[in-house]
Amino acid sequence: MRAVRYHDHGGPEQLLVEDIDRPEPGDGEVLVKVHAASVNPVDTYFLEGSYEPGALPWIPGSDVAGVVTAVGDDVTAFDPGDRVFATALGNDHPGTCAEYVVAPTDRVAGLPDRVGFAAGAAVALVGVTAWQSLVARCGMEPGERALIHGGSGGVGHVAVQIARAAGAQVTTTASPEYHDTLRELGADDVIDYAGEDLTATIAAAGAPDVVLDHRLDEYLGLDCEVAAFGGRIAAIGNTDPAATFPNVPGHRGKALTVHHTSVFNTPDVARVLRRLAGLMERGALEPHVAETYDLRSVREAQEAVLDESFLGKLVVEP
């Protein structure tokens, strides 16, 4: 089969398309013919070596949507021919930028017939991350207000839809060019993150009970300032590890909590994928695919995921 691999850590120039043996599923695993994979910033972190994946050479990619072609001896939940999607690969298991991938069944769920493979791959990692952040960790309830930083991003645009589906009021930040689309996706208040006095503008929309923050080092002080009493902050990323509560004195009386969430610390990935599948099946969640690439263009996709502005996700179709 063809697969994208890297033999050394570094930049996208390390990515090569190679012919390798097709993997075989072991106990508790399924073999999936890849119809679509997606590209996430975390793929670049594994590539550069800031996060350590499995032994090199390594295949990048966390998300996949496709068709089961073989199953391990003890697998009963899936059969060859099933449409599925999966995530949390590319870390301890080889990734999805290939023609076939093996996935443990606890990271796999059925993909509804009405949902395309590109959408399935696009939603998997970001959907699990958003669900874990808003619902599992922060316990978002109907009628609460959610603040979602970076609403046009992969996680952000899905989080807006999950929050709306859960009955929350939604405030989000984004560049003005994406405001109309985010309102269509369910945001009540869309704010220019580069505008004047961001804190006051967010506060005017309503104190959020739940905050989803992708830049904790930059926005933790703001989050604490605007959050309601008992507010819960979900942190999915930051560029400086120095973001701590000592940086934001004066808010201890609010009884705030911070949760660090990731697809890779999700205890039951398949369960969350099934919830996402249900939302997509009834049209309450529709991930946006900004652009598609083939295996030869994964280098360009990894460059674009960090350096370009777009709404939604980048998808690879082998």
Three-class DSSP category at 307: helix
For β-strands 232-235 and 257-260, DSSP reports them as: parallel
* Domain map (residue ranges) of the chain: 2-111+288-316, 125-263
Distance CA 128, CA 139 (A): 15
Q: Token pair for residue 76?
A: 């009963």
**Any idea which residue has 């934001």 for tokens?**
248
* HEC assignment per residue over 48-80: HCCCCCCCCCECCCCEEEEEEEEECCCCCCCCC
| Confidence band, pLDDT 50/70/90 cuts, at residue 245 | low
| Weakest-pLDDT range from 126-135, 176-185, 263-272, 275-284 | 263-272
- What percent of the chain is modeled with pLDDT above 70? 95
Q: Kindly state the DSSP code that residue 6 receives in the 8-state scheme.
A: B
In 3D, which of 46, 35, 3, 55 has the Cα closest to residue 302? Answer: 46
pLDDT in tens, 253-309: 788 888 888 888 898 999 999 999 999 999 999 999 999 999 999 999 999 998 888
Antiparallel, parallel or unpaired: β 145-148 and 210-213: parallel
Beta-carbon contacts of 243 under 8 Å, excluding residues fewer than 6 positions away, are 216, 217, 218, 220, 235
Summarize pLDDT for 109-124 with one digit per residue, the tens.
Answer: 999 999 999 999 999 9
pLDDT tens for each residue of 138-155: 999 999 999 999 999 999
Give first-to-last CA distance, the chain, whole Å. 11
**2-111+288-316 CATH choice from 3.30.930.10, 3.40.50.620, 3.90.180.10, 3.40.50.300:** 3.90.180.10
Distance in angstroms (rounded) separating the CA atoms of residues 161 and 184: 10
The residue type of 279 is: L
For the CA atoms of 113, 116, 119, 123, the dihedral, rounded to the nearest 10 degrees, stands at 20
Q: How far apart are CA 186 and CA 170, in angstroms?
A: 7
| Mean predicted lDDT score pLDDT of the chain | 93
Q: And the tokens for 8?
A: 């050394």
Q: What is the CATH number of domain 125-263?
A: 3.40.50.720
pTM of the predicted protein model? 0.94
Q: How far apart are CA 272 and CA 270, in angstroms?
A: 5
